[in-house]
Amino acid sequence: MPMVPEAAYAMLACARIGAIHSVVFGGFSPESLKDRILDSDCQTVITADEGCEVAV
């Protein structure tokens, strides 16, 4: 997920219910992401299709 508040919400929700979560660097290639997802044998993937960066 991009750097959006929902990424933190999802991570904290997983921690709250005791689910294992793994935050993955968004700069990985599609092939690397596929390998990590398949190797983890996960049941759910939480993602976003876009994000906004705010200049400070």
Single pTM value for the model: 0.66
Which sign does the torsion angle of CA 17, 26, 47, 10 carry?
positive
Higher pLDDT, 54 or 10: 10
Residue with tokens 């390998």: 35
State the chain's mean pLDDT as an integer: 86
Average pLDDT value for residue range 28-40: 90
Q: Say whether pLDDT at 28 is over 90.
A: no
Domain borders along the chain are 5-40
